[in-house]
Amino acid sequence: MKTTKEIGSKLEETILAMVKDIDPQARRTRGSGCGNEYADISCSFAYIECKKRNTESITIKETTWNHLNYNLPISTSKFTIMVLENKNKKRWVVLDCDEFFRILKKASKNG
């Protein structure tokens, strides 16, 4: 039986591969968010936290989201993304609403 860390690592590896298509310098953080560095994945534009759950429904606690955002390095322009995966391997991305629309606005200007 796989450990929680092994299950989470598989999700992190999958998401990292997707991010590397956008930012080849993206990398898993040392200690994968356990205090050595921030979040599970770092890239040029965001910090990404990955959470695998063994349930169909997924929720996040506001305190978890706040913890991620309040611990951002002070001088960073990066934003936080949370990737959630349920037991059926369905994935969702959570990010701040203002950040989402800032990204859409920027993308529409480039398109």
Name the CATH architecture for the domain at 4-110. Answer: 3-Layer(aba) Sandwich (3.40)
How long, in residues, is the chain? 111
Report the C-alpha gap between 45 and 25 in whole angstroms. Answer: 11
Q: Which of 91, 71, 72, 78 is nearest to 10 (CA)?
A: 91
- Nearest-Å Rg of the Cα atoms of the chain is 14
Domain map (residue ranges) of the chain: 4-110
Q: Where are the alpha helices (DSSP H) in 52-110?
A: 62-70, 97-110
Per-residue pLDDT of the chain (111 residues; tens, 9 = 90+): 666 666 678 999 999 999 999 999 999 998 654 556 788 999 999 999 999 999 999 999 899 899 888 888 888 889 999 999 999 999 999 999 999 999 999 889 876
pTM attached to this predicted model: 0.86
Torsion 88-93-96-102 (CA) sign: negative
